[in-house]
Every structure is written in C-alpha cells, then in structure tokens.
Chain A
C-alpha cells in the first residue's frame, strides 16, 4: 500500500489535471449558450453548497485583523476603481472608454488565454473554501 503522502500528492495531481482539462473544455464553449452557463454554474453550485455546509466559525474580526488604517486604505482603493469603472461604463463609445470587462474581453480573445483564466477562476473558488 502507498504511504498517505504519496496518495495525497497523486490526488492533487489528478485534481489539477481534471481542472485543467475542464478549463480547456469550458473555455471553448460559445458565450450565451446553455453549455457555457452549465460549465460555470456547476463549479459555482459546488462552491456555494460547500460554503453552506461549512461549519467554520469566524476567528478574528476584520477590523482587528486589518486595522482602521488598512480598512480606510483599501476601501479608498476600491472606491476609486468602482468610480472609474462607472465613469467609463456610462461613457461612449466603448472603444474610447474601456471598462474592466471590455479590457478583459480583449485579453481573453484566444482560447489558451481563456482556459488559463478559467483555471485561475477555479483555483480562486477552491481558495475561498479553505
């Protein structure tokens, strides 16, 4: 029988490969179609369900963990990003007023780029559950 560490490593490699293949397949689907919705919806439902089942309790309050200065700093950064995004969003034409979405569309034009982004999205979803 294999030692647990080897078995655990093998599981990680298999999960990694499955996620990579899934990302390649899902990122090749046409937008605005049911298969594309399912490809995103299935991991979404899995993460949300596992989050709902999670028994994890809060450990430290965010205010104590970040400090007031930290909260103010990052809230200000977020406000600037949202504000600039809104200014661009309500302006036209889009080609002259790029939003985060329109810039992402250009970056994600190729299948490999979309697959890499989808894989990253899956990894972030897994990280949220930790």
Chain B
C-alpha cells in the first residue's frame, strides 16, 4: 500500500492486532486454570519484589509526566 492513507491503515491495523493479541492472551490465561498468568498476575508478581515495585513506580511516574506535563 502506498501513500499516507496506506501507511495509516498499516499502522492502525498493527495497533488493532496488538490489542486483539493482548485480549487473546488474557483470555487464554483465564481459561488456563492457573497455568498461564494474566496481566494482573504479572503486575502482582512485579509488586512482590523490591526491584519490580521500583520499576512499576518509575514507569508510572514517567507515564504521568509524559501524559500530563509534556503532552502537546
């Protein structure tokens, strides 16, 4: 596909596929009866370690700064 419209279509399709993959992974995790972790399990596991908590907090702070201070 050529031109800006083609590029937009490719980019948006990519993001839609990623969102669908996220939903599919979460769905698979819920159906796996504990064999696969869901996204909240990952967050909880990160919270259980000191480094994980600092990592989460750093990302949280960066996200706040990026979204609310440095937004266009």
A interface with B by C-beta (< 8 Å)? 26-27, 31-32, 36-37, 39-40, 43-44, 47-48, 51, 54, 56, 58-62, 65-67, 69-70, 73-74, 77, 80-81, 84, 87-88, 91, 93, 95-98, 101, 103-105, 108, 114, 117-118, 121, 124-125, 128, 130
Q: Known contacts A88-B11, A103-B15; is A69 also within 8 Å of B35 by CB? A: yes
- Interface pair A60/B57, CB less than 8 Å apart: no
| Interface residue ranges, B against A (CB under 8 Å) | 4-5, 7-8, 11-12, 14-15, 18, 21-22, 25, 29, 35-37, 39, 41-42, 44-50, 52-54, 56-57, 60-61, 63-72
Please indicate the chain B residues that have their CB under 8 angstroms from the CB of A48 in the complex: 57, 61
B19 to A, closest residue via Cβ = A81
Q: Which DSSP category, helix, strand, loop or mixed, fits chain A's interface? A: helix
A39 to B68 Cα, complex, angstroms: 9
Whether A124 lies near B69 (C-beta < 8 A) is no
Q: A121 to B18, Cβ gap below 8 A? A: no
Chain B residues near A80: list those with CB within 8 A: 18, 21
Q: A40-B68, A118-B68 are in contact. Are A65 and B57 (CB under 8 A)?
A: no
Given A74-B25, A95-B8, 16 extra CB contacts under 8 A: A32-B69, A37-B65, A39-B68, A47-B57, A51-B53, A59-B48, A62-B45, A70-B36, A74-B39, A77-B21, A96-B8, A104-B67, A104-B71, A105-B71, A108-B67, A128-B53
Cβ of A92 to closest chain B Cβ, rounded Å: 10
Q: Are A108 and B41 in contact (CB under 8 A)?
A: no
Chain A hits for B60, CB < 8 A: 47, 121, 124-125, 128
- Chain B neighbourhood of A117, CB < 8 A: 67-68
Other-chain residue from A36, A74, A103 in contact with B68 (beta carbon distance below 8 A) = A36
Distance in Å from the Cβ of A91 to the closest Cβ of chain B? 7
Q: Contact: B7 with A96, CB < 8 Å?
A: yes
